[in-house]
Structure formats: C-alpha cells, structure tokens
C-alpha cells in the first residue's frame, strides 16, 4: 500500500462545508488544534511493511509493542484491525455506514499503519476534517460526534483499540451534516 496524501487538518464552520477557515499540515500544529477539542493526535512509527493479504493476526503481531503500550496507558482490553486493499469488492455499504454522523460511549482509537482515511469531528460549532495517514494515531473522545470517510476505493490498515469487548458500537445522530462537507477524494 502507498500513501498518496499527507496528514492534513481542515477546519470548517459547521454550517458551511465549502471553504475551510483554517488548514494545517504540520503534525505538532494539528495535535495542538485537536487538543483544544479533547482529541489526541500523535505521530507514531508504523515501520513494518505488511505483505499483501496480511491477516489481522499478522498486523497485530507486527505492532505488538505499540498496542501493548496503548493498552497499558489507557486500559484498552480489545484490539482489532480494519484493513481494506484497493479493489476490495462491496466496500460502498461500509463507507456509507461510516459516513453517517455518530458518537460512541468510549474513545475511538485508530493507529494508521497503511494508507489513509478522514475523520470529521463535529465540535464547538466547527467540523474538523483530519486526513490520517500511515504513522498517525488519533483518539476521538467518547461522546464526540463524528463520521469517517475511507474513500470510494479504500486503501488503509488501521489498528483499533477498545475498552468494551463489543468493539465498534455507534450511536447514530440522524443528522445529515456529513452530506455538506467534502469527501476524502474531493
């Protein structure tokens, strides 16, 4: 997998997805901006090259030390991997589900080890579009309204950590706000 875009943060007023009011591309600046809304953002070393078709166990094994550090620091008990390679069939229904604004009862933690995806965080009258790429760790606090775009032909591998053994459980808001903001591929 290759990364074709760098980490980027665009901040919009939540009523207008046409023009960002702020754009950042430097990791420390992005981390500082997101910290203002309680989001953890860090650059980690995703230095293991995964083979095509690598399994969830392969990915977890390759990043065991980083996973152990996060589990120890934050009390996460469950880990899984979401991995989509270019050309994976039938990804549009998955994409559409993630594109609906939702929140979780626990933090949403992702460590991107390949590819890219965009989180959209809806907080304090703004939408923060965070394009995450390899080496990015993001933790969205419990209760934060957001959505995620993996693009029309997704290519990413992200390690997900949870405190709840049920894993990814969304509480959808029913708001159509995501329809007013640019998608990952735009």
- Residue 84 or residue 2, greater confidence: 84
pLDDT score of 2? 44
Enumerate the H helices of 36-162 as residue ranges. 56-62, 64-74, 92-98
The domain limits of the chain are 8-172
Q: Could you tell me if 99 and 149 are in contact, meaning their C-beta atoms sit under 8 angstroms apart?
A: yes
- Indicate whether 164 pLDDT > 80: no
Distance CA 172, CA 160 (A): 19
- In terms of Cα–Cα distance, which of 163, 159, 155 is closest to 63? 159
- In terms of Cα–Cα distance, which of 45, 44, 47, 21 is closest to 33? 21
Q: Could you tell me if 156 and 118 are in contact, meaning their C-beta atoms sit under 8 angstroms apart?
A: no
Structure-block tokens of residue 165: 């053994």
pLDDT digit string (tens) for 91-135?
Answer: 999 999 999 999 999 999 999 999 999 999 999 999 999 999 999
Distance CA 52, CA 70 (A): 26
Domain 8-172 CATH class label = mainly beta
- Indicate whether 1 pLDDT > 70: no
pLDDT score of 166? 67
- Other beta carbons within 10 angstroms of residue 108's beta carbon come to 22
Q: C-alpha angle with apex 59: 172 to 27, nearest 5 degrees?
A: 65
**Is the pTM higher than 0.95?**
no
pLDDT digit string (tens) for 24-44?
Answer: 999 999 999 999 999 999 999
- Indicate whether 185 pLDDT > 90: no
Place of tokens 């992200």: 158
The pLDDT of 3-18, averaged and rounded, is 88
Residue 93: exposure state from Cβ atoms within 10 A (0-12, 13-18, ≥19): exposed
Distance CA 114, CA 63 (A): 12
pLDDT score of 70? 95
Distance CA 113, CA 156 (A): 8
Distance CA 112, CA 58 (A): 15
């Amino acid at each position: 997998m290759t990364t074709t875009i760098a980490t980027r943060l665009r901040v919009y007023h939540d009523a207008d997805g046409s023009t960002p009011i702020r754009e950042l591309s430097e990791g420390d600046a992005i981390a500082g901006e997101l910290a203002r809304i309680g989001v953890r953002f860090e650059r980690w070393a995703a230095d293991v090259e995964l083979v095509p078709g690598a399994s969830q166990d392969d990915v977890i094994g390759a990043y065991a030390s980083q996973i152990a550090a996060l589990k120890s620091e934050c009390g996460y008990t469950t880990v899984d991997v979401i991995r989509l390679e270019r050309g994976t069939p039938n990804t549009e229904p998955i994409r559409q589900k993630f594109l609906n604004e939702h929140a979780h009862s626990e933090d949403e933690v992702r460590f991107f080890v390949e590819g890219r995806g965009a989180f959209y965080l809806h907080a304090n009258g703004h939408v923060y579009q965070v394009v995450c790429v390899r080496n990015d760790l993001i933790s969205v606090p419990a209760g934060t309204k957001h959505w995620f775009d993996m693009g029309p032909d997704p290519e990413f591998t992200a390690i997900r950590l949870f405190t709840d053994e049920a894993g990814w459980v969304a509480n959808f808001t029913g708001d159509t706000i995501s329809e007013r903001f640019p998608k990952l591929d735009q």
